[in-house]
Amino acid sequence: MNEEGKRELNQDSSRFLTFFIDDEQYGLNISHVKEIIASMNITNVPKTPDYIKGVINLRGAVIPIVDVRLKFGMDERAYDINTAIIINEIDNVSIGFIVDRVEDVLSIKHSELTEPPKFGTNVDTSFIESVAQINENVVMVLNLKKIFEQSELVDISNIEKSENDN
């Protein structure tokens, strides 16, 4: 493929890392995915919501880990050999997502992406940016920013308050 062809492809399609939770397939825009690691020892952090499993040491960086199942309001499930942690990064902030199983990277044309349905899944749909029909499967593309925002335990008023405390 020549350079021009590539650019065209990049313009009207994006690449997504897909993963499974139960039987549902989700996608994350690959540009924010830093790496995928096998599940490892997570240090519990008290006074955080359940879905924050704690923090891990990734080559010297301390990264908070969100269990996507719990975040989506599903039941917790014992980690197995397929359990993986996807490290995402936006604006230099990294968060890891625990997922059941990582699948392929898919190129999805923008024209194939549609508004998420308001029904038909067990999941809180506010995290879903769009859906795409790929062959037999439906891939739900997650809105990473939204998950990040909601994972932040700090809201501004809190910070100000604790600063006044000092």
Partner 1 sequence: MDINKLKEIFVEEATEIIEKLDVDIINFEEDPEDKELLNELFRGVHTLKGSANSFGFSRLGEFVHHFEDALDYYRSSDEQITSNIIDVFLESVDIIKEVMEVEIEGNPDLPHQYNQCLEEIKTLLQKKDTQEEKSSPTQSDLDNEGTNNTDEVNIEHLKKELIEDESLFRITLNLDDDVYFRGFDHSKLFKLLTKEGYILESHWDMSNIPDIKKFNPETSYITSIVIYFVSKEDEASIKEIFEYLDDTEYIFEKIYTSTKEAPITIDKADIKFGRREEDKEATAVTPKKGRRKSDIHSYVKIDTNKLDELFDSIGELVIAQNFLAENKDIQIMKNENITKTINILSKTTRLIQNRVMSLRMVPINDTFEKMKRVVRDASKKVNKEISLVVEGAETEIDKTMIDSLSDPLIHIIRNSIDHGIEDNTQDREKARKSPIGQVTLRAYHKGGKIAIEINDDGRGINKDKVLEKAKERGLVAEGAELSDSQIFGLIMQPGFSTADQISDISGRGVGLDVVRTSIEKLKGKVEISSSTGKGSTFTILLPLTLAIIDGMLVKSENDTYIIPTLSVIESFIPQKKIVHTVKDKGEFVDLRGEMIPIVRLNELLESSENRPNIWESTLVCIESENGKFAILIDDLIGRQQVVIKPLGYTLSGIKEFSGSAVMGNGEIALILNVESLWGSKEGKN
Q: Which residues bind partner 1 (CB under 8 A)?
A: 41, 43-48, 52, 55-57, 59-64, 93-95, 151-155, 158-159, 161-162, 165-166
Report the nearest approach of partner 1 to the CB of residue 11 (Å).
29
In the bound state with partner 1, the residue whose beta carbon lies nearer, of 80 and 165, is 165
In the bound state with partner 1, the residue whose beta carbon lies nearer, of 130 and 150, is 150
Report the nearest approach of partner 1 to the CB of residue 93 (Å).
5
Phi-psi region of 92 (alpha: psi -120 to 50; beta: other; left: phi over 0): left
Report the nearest approach of partner 1 to the CB of residue 56 (Å).
7
Task: Confirm if 9 and 106 have CB atoms less than 8 A apart.
Answer: no
Report the nearest approach of partner 1 to the CB of residue 51 (Å).
12
Q: Spell 60-96 as b/e; 16+ CB within 10 A means b.
A: eeebbbbbbbbbbebeeeebeeebbbbbbbeeeebbb
Give first-to-last CA distance, the chain, whole Å.
61
In the bound state with partner 1, the residue whose beta carbon lies nearer, of 65 and 132, is 65
